[in-house]
Structures are given as structure tokens and as C-alpha cells.
Amino acid sequence: MEIVVEEEYTDQSEDLLKQWLQQSKDKSHQHNIKGKQYKKKHEMFGLPATLLPIIYSPISGLLSQQPGIEIANVTVLILSGVLTGVYAFFDFGRKAEQHFRYEALYSDLTTTIIVELTKKREIRIRADRFIEMIQSKIDGFASTEPLL
């Protein structure tokens, strides 16, 4: 007959969980900030790259007989190409989405730890099992999360 011994919560195990809780809150906040920065860049480069040719095309047609229109056409074409190139190369939209995804993952982890620490020690998940589960999630996030 095998005897299963459950590891009880100690002050040290709770301190470790509180430390991870704070780190999780910090990471969630940092990913939120980074996601917003990339979203702003996504809009800064993506909207002009899309709208500039749409808005300028009819104007160019109306002013086709005006002197200097060729220079304006080339300038708008170059500007549009540069904006599109930067937008495509840096892929700010994908980077923003990744950071918002990890913000949500870390936020979920924060909630999981808070809920478990709120319970009485006697009715919590076994300490060793819960710590292993949280450590596994943290390691998984750290190995795949985008750089901050």
C-alpha cells in the first residue's frame, strides 16, 4: 500500500507564490504597454500606406495637366512605398497581437494565483502540485513570449 503525503502550505511556499504573483502582474502590465506601442506604430504606418494611394489617385487624375504633377506623383509613390515597406518589414500588427496575448496569459496566471491564495490552506490544491503547475506555466510563457 502506497502512502501519499501531501505537502502542506508553508510561509515559504506562500511567499514564493506571492513573488510569482507580483512578477505575473508586472509582466502583464509590461506586455500591455508594449502591445499599445506596437498598435500605435501599426496605425501610424499602416493607415497612411493604405490611404495615401486611395486619396491621391483621384487628385492625380484631376491635376494631370498641371505642371509638376509628375514630381508629385513620384513623391507620393515613393512615400507610399517606404511606408508600405516599413509596415510589412516590422509587422507591427502581429507584434501588438503577440504582446496582448501574453498580457492576457499573465493576467490569467495572476487570477489563478490570487484565487488559490484566497482560499483557506486546508482546501487549496496541494502546495507541491500548485507550485509545480505555476512554475510550468511561467517557464512555458518565458520560452515563447516576445521580448519586452
93-133 pLDDT, tens per residue? 999 999 999 999 999 999 999 999 999 999 999 999 999 99
Distance CA(29)–CA(103), nearest Å, equals 7
CA distances (Å), origin 27, targets 52, 110, 131: 37, 10, 18
Distance CA(103)–CA(34), nearest Å, equals 10
Nearest CA-CA partner of 42 in 76, 100, 83, 81 = 83
56-99 pLDDT, tens per residue? 999 998 988 999 999 999 999 999 999 999 999 999 999 999 99
- Domain edges within the chain: 11-144
Q: Number of C-alpha atoms within 13 angstroms, CB side, residue 134? A: 29
